[in-house]
Amino acid sequence: MTDEGPVLGSGYIHLTSTILLGLGLFVGVKTFKVDHRIGAAIIVAGAIPAAITIVQFILLRRALASADLQLPQELLPLGWSGAATYSRPLRGATLQSIEARLQCVEHMETGSGRSRRQWNEIVYDEALAPQSAPMMERIQVQIPLKIPVTGPASLSYTDTKITWWLRLRLRMDGCPNTRSSFSVEVAPAVVER
């Protein structure tokens, strides 16, 4: 399973640095036509936050590498109980704590074209108790999972897509706000008519 979560926490830092880069380039180019020194200074000032974000991302990727989640089987039935194994190499980072949640998200779309609407609703959310063994160059965590027997409560529409997620938040020295999200394949409930 591949890690589908953000590596560096929320995307607001990246969004802010991208907006500042865009504004700096726009204003800097306009000002550059009038005064070269002030225009160049504005362009450089707008590029500094983006450069910091890129360097921080590269350093984080070097320290963490990529995460992996292993389950005993690919498709889990409702009512399944067992453990998932989360592992990630460490290169200079130190794990302080780890939080894990099992979530079920229901996605629905209605309409088409301009009248198209989308909803995402978390219909099941459970905190999990991960158990980690201390290791020097690697994080290896056992996460006990229990998929509910009946499945989650629904938005009561028929054309919805249900996705189960295992979400982890790691607090580490040198790598703040690191998160991982893994999509977990769960067999849908059989509806009897």
Residue 171 has pLDDT above 60, yes or no: yes
- Provide the residue count of the chain: 193
* Count of alpha carbons within 13 angstroms of residue 65, beta-carbon side: 11
- 108 vs 163: CA distance, rounded Å: 11
Same domain (yes/no): 146, 174:
yes
Q: Compute the mean pLDDT over every residue in the chain, rounded to the nearest whole number.
A: 82
- Tell me, yes or no, whether 163 lies in a domain: yes
Q: How many domains does the chain have?
A: 2
On whether both 143 and 85 belong to a single domain, the answer is: yes
Note whether 42 and 131 are same-domain residues.
no
Token match 């320290």: residue? 63
pLDDT tens digits, residue range 78-108? 888 999 998 888 777 777 888 999 998 888 8
Helix ranges (H only) for the chain are 12-32, 36-64
pLDDT of residue 108: 82
Q: Is the pLDDT of residue 158 over 90?
A: no
pTM value > 0.75: no
Q: Is residue 3 part of a domain?
A: no
pLDDT value of position 135:
75
Report the candidate in 93, 115, 84 with the shortest Cα–Cα distance to residue 185.
84
Assign residue 192 a region: left if phi > 0, alpha if psi is -120 to 50, beta otherwise? beta
Do residues 122 and 59 share a domain?
Answer: no
Average pLDDT value for residue range 164-179: 80
Q: What is the pLDDT of residues 26-74, one digit of tens each?
A: 999 999 989 999 999 999 999 999 898 888 777 777 767 778 889 988 8
Residue 172 domain flag: yes
Domain range for 114 is 68-186
| 75 in any annotated domain | yes
Q: Which is higher by pLDDT, 109 or 10?
A: 109
**What's the CATH code of the domain at 97?**
2.60.40.640
Confidence of residue 193 (pLDDT cuts 50, 70, 90): very low
Burial of residue 42 (number of CB atoms within 10 Å: 0-12, 13-18, 19+): buried
Q: What is the pLDDT of residues 11-21, one digit of tens each?
A: 677 788 889 99
What pLDDT was estimated at residue 115?
A: 84
DSSP one-letter code for 189: P
Together in a domain, 154 and 87: yes
